[in-house]
Chains A and B, each alone.
Chain A
Amino acid sequence: MAYVEHAETEVLHEPKSFFTRYIWSQDHKVIAIQYSLTAISVGLVALVLSGLMRMQIGFPGSLGFMDASTYYQAMTMHGMIMVIYLLTALFLGGFGNYLIPLMVGARDMVFPYVNMLSFWFYLLSVLVLLSSFFVPGGPTGAGWTLYPPQSITRGTPGTEWGIVLMLVSLAIFIVAATMGGLNYVTTVLQARTRGMTLFRMPLSVWGIFMASILALLAFPALFVSAVMMLFDKLLGTSFFMPAVISMGQQLAHQGGSPILFQHLFWFFGHPEVYIVALPAFGLVSDLISTHARKNIFGYRMMVWAIIAIGVLSFVVWAHHMYVSGMNPYFGFFFAATTLIIAVPTALKVYNWVLTLWHGDIHLTVPMLFALAFIVTFLVGGLTGLFLGNVIVDIPLSDTYFVVAHFHMVMGVAPILVVFGSIYHWFPKVTGRLLNDTLGKLHFWITFLGTYCIYFPMHYLGLLGMPRRYYAWQNYDFIPQSAQQLNAFITVVALTVGVCQLLFLFNLAWSAFKGRPAGPNPWGAASLEWQTPDTPPVHGNWGAELPVVHRWAYDYSVPGIEQDFVPQTVSAQELEQMRQRDAEARIAGERP
């Protein structure tokens, strides 16, 4: 049946020049690449900052310029960039933009102009953030949580300019994320092609869709706290600032509630964990299913788990505040919700493992990263069970155990999915495969390296080594062996950091010189691999939109020779394929 749109083609802005095609572009694929490159670039800044911090921790005093202030500034910027400007932007702005329209069979996002603005606001927020390195006093050193009163009180680095630029940059980022999120949600709800029911969407789309909803509802909390803190800083209000005596002087503030800021911040901050994790869950489900040549186990359970995790993520925030002081019943409540969220999460892990079970596992580079994700996420998740309990959290709070936990669960685990997904979808974006040998080298150094970095940190945390300290000399309770372990961690961290150059080289080289991939190098069933052109051209689908007849996971269907059935194959076509294969078998042409 012919399926031609009328109203749609007129508003699909056809690019007319180089400028509108690649820079001021409204095409979701170009915007996705712009988002990704910006995010990766700013992520490299954060990576270098972590290297500088590790030098100070592993070899104290080895960097001449590294004083306590610089250390705190590096720490703050590292955390904020990695969580917000790299991971959030890359998963939603990068993968969300590229994959949603292709996976649901749309020609573009629903609001292409808003989508373009989203990227330019994001770029502006990054530039404002980076500009704080060059202002008097430098960037803020308040820690990525920006707790008042210290974040805007003299004595903390960057209280003149740095904190203002940080808050303004966050506000701009939130505007960008909101514009993007509106697009992702509306596109999923309104622009799916014929036959693409919600329960036929790939889990990647489900994960990104739910994460976008979380972002839309949770980022306002950060916006509220940023605006109110800007008022406190610039207009002298006392939303968060209590009466403080600073440097012997009574400040003008009084009566404000720092705890109120913590509640607002974490009401954003915890959903933020899942804004990063849910897209990773979705993407990795598709990687595992495709490369194990097996349908995802318990598809609907996976979808409901994504939804349940999204909902629950709004009622666990105060587990970040056990030591801030709260009503004991609140602590009990938040510990309970935190442990409950482990149920849908564990369900997902079981389903990934069951998908692998009896699968035809291809150990491609994307699959290696996906498998590494499962174990890393498991390790990070299990330490979360420790920290979710009030009574265990209190002694472990603010130690390296916490550092190890959150780096494993929302640093390493999502970034492994980012790498795996880039290796997986790079052929669709560029038409060329990434180099396999370099990819495997990159994988093993990164995977084993991160374990060497973060596993020992659990032990350091149990020893009582506090996080956020600039130097550990002259503390009796920290044994000398801890310092040797720190030096070891630093050496590995620098190795892993440098190893990322392999990946960057691979990206740049393969984009131009890589092996041509063809339209569907992995034999994947989902819609984005069925585009008429690779890389997909403007408008994605040629004259007619595809019609979807099945879910995205028909791998190794019995009786069919080809081990995947694309979503566009109808029941009649499948029957024909089955008959043809049966006849071929009878004729003895095939075993």
Chain B
Amino acid sequence: MNGPLLKNTESAGAGGSWSQPPAEGLDRAKAAKVGLRVFLGVVTSLFLLFLLAFIARSQMADWQPLTEPLAPLASARQLWLNTFLLVLGSISLQWARLAARRGALNGASLGFTLGGVFAIAFLGGQLWVWKQFVDWGYFVSTNPANSFFYLLTGVHGLHLLGGLVAWGRVGARFLRRVPLSQLQPSVELCAIYWHYLLGLWIVLFALLTSTPETYQAIAAFCGLR
């Protein structure tokens, strides 16, 4: 907290403020970034609550862990592959972000395209895991562990799909040859969102493939046992 922020008397000169009100009008790029960060706060709240519900429900007697030897997550190889794809997507977009800052159009468009393609590949991989679940008879209502697996991966996937809509819109502007300097803020936003969803996925991945003992420990820590 700085001094002028706390002042409402006349001694505070016009303009002294927390986030320095724009000297040259509203900074759209900065406002969009703040808006995105606020939105990510909402998504964090959403998933935190989902995960708390997950932990609480996992302590009931009928929970059948998906990591048991004959269950679909006994080997998480496919999920590791998907995670790798999502990491690649994040790296590509970061590359695009840095290239866009430098003004390098080729690097920016290539990185941007790859970021979306890897995200689509990730979603394909997730669907394949779902299909595997169905083939093995692990339907959504068979057991709460399955229900949560579908629910959490599904909601995460929907968020990524929403990101892909934004990605498609920015991509269309790339194709219309909009100058890179105007696209750069949007590339930044996509990169931030991709990194966030990667981080979120890693948390989900870690939790979904953990053992019941871990859930028990977390539940005890949260006072849910």
**Could you list which residues of chain A lie within 8 angstroms of chain B, going by C-beta atoms?**
4-8, 11, 106-107, 110-111, 178, 181-183, 185-186, 189-200, 216-218, 220-221, 223-224, 227-228, 231, 235-239, 252, 254-257, 260, 263-264, 267, 299-300, 327, 330, 547-551, 570-571, 574
Contact = CB atoms under 8 A, between A and B. Distances in A.
Given A216-B38, A228-B53, A255-B60, A6 B46 contact: no
A7 B25 contact: yes
B49 A198 contact: no
Given A186-B31, A228-B53, A264-B49, A550 B38 contact: no
Nearest to A191: B26
Contacts of B18: 197-198
Given A186-B31, A224-B46, A239-B144, A196 B57 contact: no
Given A217-B41, A221-B49, A236-B141, A197 B12 contact: yes
Interface string B66-105: 0000000000000000000000000000000000000000
User: Among B14, B42, B50, which residue has the most Cβ atoms of chain A within 10 A?
Assistant: B14
B108 to A, nearest CB: 22
Contacts of B12: 197
A24 to B, nearest CB: 20
Contact of A252 (B31, B32, B38, B141): B141
Interface of B: 4-8, 10, 12, 14-19, 21-28, 30-32, 34-35, 38-39, 41-42, 45-46, 49-50, 53, 56-57, 60-63, 140-141, 144, 147, 151, 155, 223
29 contacts: A5-B22, A5-B25, A5-B26, A7-B24, A110-B35, A111-B32, A182-B39, A186-B35, A186-B38, A190-B19, A190-B31, A190-B34, A192-B17, A193-B21, A194-B21, A195-B15, A197-B18, A198-B5, A198-B18, A199-B7, A217-B42, A218-B45, A236-B140, A254-B62, A255-B61, A255-B62, A260-B53, A550-B8, A550-B10
Given A197-B18, A571-B10, A8 B26 contact: yes
A138 B146 CA distance: 33
A190 B10 CA distance: 22
Given A186-B38, A260-B56, 20 more contacts: A7-B27, A8-B26, A178-B39, A185-B38, A190-B26, A190-B31, A195-B17, A199-B8, A216-B41, A216-B45, A217-B42, A220-B42, A231-B151, A238-B144, A239-B147, A254-B62, A255-B63, A257-B60, A300-B8, A549-B14
Contacts of A224: 46, 49-50, 53
A86 B155 CA distance: 29
Contacts of B17: 192, 195-198
Contact of B42 (A194, A216, A548, A571): A216
Contact of A195 (B21, B26, B42): B21
B53 A264 contact: yes
Given A217-B42, A299-B8, A197 B16 contact: yes
A574 B4 CA distance: 21
A22 B50 CA distance: 40
Nearest to B30: A190
Nearest to A268: B49
Contacts of B57: 239, 256-257, 260
